[in-house]
Amino acid sequence: MFDAVIIGGGPAGASCALWLKMLGFRPCLIERRSALGGLQNDNPYPNEWIASVMGKTGYEVAHDLDAHLTSHSIVCRRGEAVASLEVVAGGFRVTTENGALILARTAVLASGVRPVKGGLSASEQVLIGPGRTMFNAAFEGQHVAILGGGDNAFENYIFVRKRGATTVHIYARTIRARREFLEKVPASDVRLGPYAVEPETPAVADRAYDRLVVLYGWEPYLPYARDLELARTPRGFVETDAACQTSIPNLYAIGELAQRMHPCCVTSMADGIVAAKAIQRTLEEDAVARFVDRVRGAVTAP
Ligand SMILES: Cc1cc2nc3c(=O)[nH]c(=O)nc-3n(C[C@H](O)[C@H](O)[C@H](O)COP(=O)(O)OP(=O)(O)OC[C@H]3O[C@@H](n4cnc5c(N)ncnc54)[C@H](O)[C@@H]3O)c2cc1C
């Protein structure tokens, strides 16, 4: 029986496991990929957004997270996806896709998000989501349509242009990108309003392109919890209180899965700490009460 089972070894889950271990508990972290670090494994670009980390790419941030947990001998089951999570007497039972059973007194959902596909399938012509796939694709001399109106769409317009694309058009139903990016994209390359996509051609609004880049944002990813009656937001993210506690006692949700105000590495890691401290309070409640009894007994003893 572990003190906590943590599902997902991205920044949120890794931080939670580290804090629990440092606080004297026995966490078990389960990660589907072969390495910890979550979405940072898909980020080939410099990650300058962590105040204490300089000059590292997302790949390096992911590598450091993995190495840090290894250095503390934290139980990490890498390369194992969680298939189901159930509430059982005294805690939770996790079953992995290769049949392993893990029992724990508390559980933490940290399985993050995945790109919204909008009914499209990834292919050589249709790239879905930012990061590694975009980075590895050739755009020189191509006609490219970017679908989406957020930061990722506008930032990747600039990226695809720099990679030598001949035409880049953004198709957006609404625009939500920040000013820094808006200032770098000519309005003439943006098509605002509804549009139809033909992925096989591929074409958008009856115009043919070499490549479509789908950047529709993110959706929560927790298929293993479909049988739990978890309170969710209208978009499916897990609802929690300020201590990252879900609607199910002793079950916590952290990081992008819980859709914080601004999802990033640092806010996800901070969530991991908040959950670890909440778990500490829960698991140590009895210990504190017993110690207080001992103190009282010692004072009243003759
Ligand atoms: C291209 C790109 C660039 C980015 N750049 C930055 C940046 O510069 N700075 C910054 O702060 N943020 C950046 N981000 C965002 C940042 O990576 C995320 O906010 C952060 O990783 C979220 O952490 P998380 O732990 O909540 O989720 P994730 O990182 O998504 O981690 C979730 C983990 O859960 C695992 N998992 C999922 N399902 C299961 C299952 N069933 N069983 C076991 N494991 C499972 C996944 O494999 C994954 O490793 C970037 C993201 C991308 C995609």
What amino acid occupies position 136?
Answer: N
Q: Tell me how far the alpha carbon of residue 229 is from its chain's centroid.
A: 21
Q: Give the per-residue pLDDT at 301.
A: 60
Q: What's the predicted TM-score (pTM) here? A: 0.93
Q: What is the pLDDT of residue 302?
A: 60
Q: What CATH number corresponds to the domain at position 184?
A: 3.50.50.60
Helix H or strand E segment including 170? strand 167-172
Domain assignment present for residue 252? The answer is yes
Same domain, 25 and 100: yes
Residue 8: CB within 6 Å of ligand 1?
Answer: yes
Do 9 and 104 belong to one domain? Answer: yes
Q: How many CB atoms lie within 10 A of CB 191?
A: 16
The C-alpha atoms of residue 108 and residue 253 are separated, in whole angstroms, by: 6
- Domain encompassing residue 189: 126-214
In-domain check, residue 232: yes
Task: For residue 38, report the distance from its CA to the centre of ligand 1, in Å.
Answer: 4
81 lines ligand 1 (CB under 6 A): yes
pLDDT, position 260: 79
Residues 109 and 61 in one domain: yes
- Is 62 found in the same domain as 6? yes
Query: How many domains is the chain built from?
Result: 2
Question: Which of 114, 264, 266 has the most ligand 1 atoms within 8 A of CB, as the residue to mutate?
Answer: 264
Q: pLDDT tens digits for the chain (302 residues)?
A: 999 999 999 999 999 999 999 999 999 999 999 999 999 999 999 999 999 999 999 999 999 999 999 999 999 999 999 999 999 999 999 999 999 999 999 999 999 999 999 999 999 999 999 999 899 999 999 999 999 999 999 999 999 999 999 999 999 999 999 999 999 999 999 999 999 999 999 999 999 999 999 999 999 999 999 899 999 999 999 999 999 999 999 999 999 999 878 899 999 999 999 999 999 999 998 888 888 888 988 876 66
Domain boundary among 160, 192, 214: 214
Between helix 58-71 and helix 11-22 the angle, nearest 10°, is 20
Q: How high does pLDDT run on average in the chain? A: 95
Q: Which helix (H) or strand (E) holds 102?
A: strand 101-109
Do 15 and 157 fall within a single domain? no
> Do residues 18 and 68 both lie within one domain?
yes
For ligand 1, atom 21, the nearest C-alpha belongs to 39
What is residue 128's predicted lDDT score, i.e. its pLDDT? 96
Per-residue pLDDT at 251: 98
Dihedral, CA of residue 210, residue 215, residue 220 and residue 226, to nearest 10: -30
